[in-house]
Structure 1
Amino acid sequence: MVEHEDLLRNSYAAFNARDIATALKALAPDVEWQDQLEGVTLHGPEAVAEYWRRQWAVMDPSFELKNFALDPNGHMVITLVQTIRGKDGEPISQGLVRHVYEFEKGLVHRMRIL
């Protein structure tokens, strides 16, 4: 579990720094990623990167990791504070969210939002 925590801590830090290349290193080539904006599942790291670019074009999201836990299926559940700011830097929203991760061969295979 610790190696997965470290992988995700690094990925979220890279996301917050807008370092796509580093953030994507956590993702498996066949990753499935929930797109919260359009309600669809994305496939592959490049689709996730494009999703992030679309987000960053219209808002400034960031995450603060609060807690890691395993659900009964062995999936990692992260509780985070999500802060959304407008492009002008003004706060739009802030609240707790939970992201659920499944891993294969040490990389994120699937991410969904609770």
Structure 2
Amino acid sequence: MTPRIALLTRLYDAYNKGDFDAFAAELDPAVDWPDQIAGGRLVGVEAMRALWARRDGMVRVEAAPLEFTTLDDGRVSVSTNQTVHNLEGRLWSDSCVRHIYTFQGERVSRMDIVERLDEA
């Protein structure tokens, strides 16, 4: 397992446990992340903290990594099975989602969600 894949494994583990501090430890302070609630992009760890607070008041999301692929430019593509439940536990969505991660040093600096790898 490469260092970047090990980092992403820790990231998904923290995400699925709801451990924001462990999640944030893997992020560049100026991380650029998609806002799947309001649209657009978020920049910075504190913006991510606010996103988690909003999301946790609305839904429960789990993302299980299925496959990691290191791209030619050094980014890592992760195929995931993402499930979304409402706060009562009812399943809203169960789908495959591809996340593309960009790195700054040893931390994640950007995440993108794509439909197809050729969009990366």
**TM-score, normalisation: structure 2:** 0.90
1:28 equivalent in structure 2: 28
Q: After the TM superposition, which segments of 4 or more aligned residues of structure 1 sit over 3 Å from their partners?
A: none
* Cα drift, residue 74 of structure 1: 2.4
2:18 is aligned with 1:18? yes
Identity of aligned residues (%): 31
* Cα drift, residue 104 of structure 1: 0.9
Gaps of 5+ in 1: none
Task: State the secondary structure of the residue aligned to 1:94.
Answer: strand
**TM-score, normalisation: structure 1:** 0.94
* Cα drift, residue 79 of structure 1: 0.4
Task: State the secondary structure of the residue aligned to 2:57.
Answer: helix
Tell me how far apart the structure 2 counterparts of residues 23 and 3 of structure 1 sit (CA, whole Å): 16
Aligned-pair Cα RMSD in Å? 1.2
Tell me how far apart the structure 1 counterparts of residues 85 and 107 of structure 2 sit (CA, whole Å): 29
Task: State the secondary structure of the residue aligned to 1:73.
Answer: coil
